[in-house]
Amino acid sequence: MSNVGRQGDAMIDNLSNPAAWALLMQELDEAREHLEVLIAEMEKNGHLDEEKFRVDLGHIYAHLNRTWHGRNQPDAITDEQWTMFSRFPADVPLVG
């Protein structure tokens, strides 16, 4: 069963589900790494091709989106869930 859009379930944590927590943290770490590379490239070059920017941000969002959708997922994301979990969540209000 997919948890995309499911609310109210307890979020996984390191104590009760260390393997799922590690996967969640890995997605966040990869998002951070890609964002740091993107920022460094933009600072170094002073410009960026719009298509590359689109692809890079899409990659970063996919990691963040899988983190959100996987927050209640006690097991690894399946191949069938991968695409759905990579999509931007409908249940996260944008702030700012």
Q: Using one digit for the tens of pLDDT, what is the confidence trace for 14-65? A: 999 999 999 999 999 999 999 999 999 999 999 999 999 999 999 999 999 9
The pLDDT confidence band at residue 5, using thresholds 50, 70 and 90, is very low
Residue 1 falls inside a structural domain? no
Residue 77 falls inside a structural domain? yes
Residue 69 falls inside a structural domain? yes
63: domain range? Answer: 18-86
Position 8 scores a pLDDT of 60
Residue 96 falls inside a structural domain? no
Which whole-number Å values give the CA distances from 86 to 11, 26, 61, 70, 96, in the listed order? 18, 14, 8, 10, 23
Residue 26 falls inside a structural domain? yes
Residue 11 falls inside a structural domain? no
Residue 9 falls inside a structural domain? no
* Total number of domains in the chain: 1
Residue 6 falls inside a structural domain? no
